[in-house]
Structure 1
């Protein structure tokens, strides 16, 4: 069911933080930005919206580089704008303030359902267009139903797992989730995070037969590495993050890989992706998709995509996987 945009959401759109403006690196004379050239029926200017996942100034600079590359590919000016959060960006897509958006999976389906956006691409990481939540604990004696193992990475760092949670795809270890005590604090990431809240809360609710919104003692850490640290220092007995957020901490804390043990994982989650305004023609939508794919085929383009959102490649959007994300979002009134 489509939900009308709330007044609060519209206010969020009005409060967009225009923290970055693309350099508009395309040269219309050189690339043919008019109807006879590369621009086709694209508008003279396109706005690319992003949401901070790293320090805002760093994203601003990297987003400007990506906008310049898109300008070169499309033959029209592309401006990058960093919004306050995904809610603002979803609304911006529906109010004409953004033409292209880069979204997490739940926000991506919200953009489609609430703002008539069109999902065109999904990110690839580690060779996959999906990922999963990992559940970890500082108490493996309680949550490991088999013997814990350590798995080294290419750098020789060790990471602890049990219950088959080292598998490349989820779900795993769901029997152990039944052991999480009622009312125990659980370190989640953020109320808008797919892998850091929506999926694991849904999974725990299904395993324990409880309401994932009202019957879980949620503690939001504010970031995936923060959630790992919460559990490592004993602020919560269990926590969640994307797989494997421990690698983000290993340089500063070489023991973090074994300080917490990953004991379960969620079903697979579609990676974040790119959506375009439904007001654009199908030809224009395809031109934008082709431009992103062309950028992803170059070393320079991949470096920028990696800097923006750790993207290692792009593939057409998996609408079936996104529909599964839509069902998860419905548990939290996102429909």
Structure 2
């Protein structure tokens, strides 16, 4: 498998040697030779096999299939084998990065921060969706009479599916609708996603702590439960298993093909503050030059039709950009220790 990424470097090295041969300066020739050796050394340092760790967002079999397609595109770009590792949780990916079992991890923002803090991983890229590198967590309900403090509005998407909102929770900019959170009774049946989910638990829990003084959201509502995923929380509220649910915006669309009325029956009534998108972390055991190579390769494939299709299939990623580390500042300190740290 040819390594296309290093072809320009090899051409540049050849040009350096040619110029050195025409030069009358031994010092210049020595410097050029040293630069060429350094470039060759960086290329040689790339492992023969890399492991790409993905977390199942919905269906394990499907994410594995889609992940293998992404791995193939990345392998073609790098010229080395790329294996796919699909564990059952974000924490398992963090452990894999910590123990040398994974080199590249696609993670949610909480787990990205956790991987940096606990596994020494480097946060390098963030996903783009709808042209943005951030999003909001959404609160939704099948009981708008209780949680909607104003009229419910309905908007149709490009495919004609209706989605309902209230309390100003439109436009995907938060926070919104926070007054409605005070209406949650102690016996509220809340479908959280996962304890390590930024939009499905972490940021909503911070919101409840800041607004209502609730320090342990899961314990404060004993009628709640962790559904295990964003589609599952929407399904739980749609089916009436829970009255309120949490997810990223807008996870209702995941069920729209099967349940055309999900956007109207499940009404979004509040948003969290904006959250940095999920993205890519790299093992801290990799040399800086290798990290730079992998980061560049991922950006390169995101700029191709084939690569973008593979990224979209895996996590609906519409592009990649360099991570804004300042966006992760909300994860620092007591909030992380209380809600995100383990």
TM range (shorter): 0.7 to 0.9
Q: Which deviates more from structure 2 when the two are superposed, residues 83-92 or residues 68-77?
A: 68-77
Please tell me whether residue 321 in structure 1 is matched to residue 327 in structure 2. Answer: yes
Alignment RMSD: 2.3
Runs of at least 5 residues in structure 1 that lack an aligned partner in the other structure? 1-25
SS of the equivalent of 1:39 reads helix
Please tell me whether residue 27 in structure 1 is matched to residue 34 in structure 2. Answer: no
Deviations 1:283-319 (A, max 9, x none): 2111101000000001111000111111110011111
Tell me, yes or no, if the aligned pair for 1:45 and 1:77 is still in contact at 8 Å.
Answer: yes
| Match runs of 1:268-283 below 5 Å | 268-283=274-289
Deviation at 1:201, TM superposition (A): 2.0
| Match runs of 1:79-90 below 5 Å | 79-90=83-94
Determine the C-alpha separation between the residues in 2 that align with 1:131 and 1:318: 14
Q: 1:292 corresponds to which residue?
A: 298
Runs of at least 5 residues in structure 2 that lack an aligned partner in the other structure? 11-38
Deviation at 1:156, TM superposition (A): 1.7
Q: 1:330 corresponds to which residue?
A: 337
Q: Which deviates more from structure 2 when the two are superposed, residues 325-334 or residues 292-301?
A: 325-334
Determine the C-alpha separation between the residues in 1 that align with 2:265 and 2:230: 16
Q: 2:231 corresponds to which residue?
A: 225
Determine the C-alpha separation between the residues in 2 that align with 1:139 and 1:30: 54
Determine the C-alpha separation between the residues in 2 that align with 1:174 and 1:68: 44
Corresponding residue to 2:269 among 263, 271, 292: 263
Q: 1:124 corresponds to which residue?
A: 128
Tell me, yes or no, if the aligned pair for 2:137 and 2:200 is still in contact at 8 Å.
Answer: yes
More helix by share: 2
Deviation at 1:37, TM superposition (A): 8.7
Q: Which deviates more from structure 2 when the two are superposed, residues 254-263 or residues 286-295?
A: 254-263
Determine the C-alpha separation between the residues in 2 that align with 1:279 and 1:30: 21
| Match runs of 1:87-236 below 5 Å | 87-213=91-217, 214-217=219-222, 218-236=224-242
Q: Which structure: larger Rg?
A: 2
Tell me, yes or no, if the aligned pair for 1:50 and 1:102 is still in contact at 8 Å.
Answer: yes
Tell me, yes or no, if the aligned pair for 2:5 and 2:297 is still in contact at 8 Å.
Answer: no
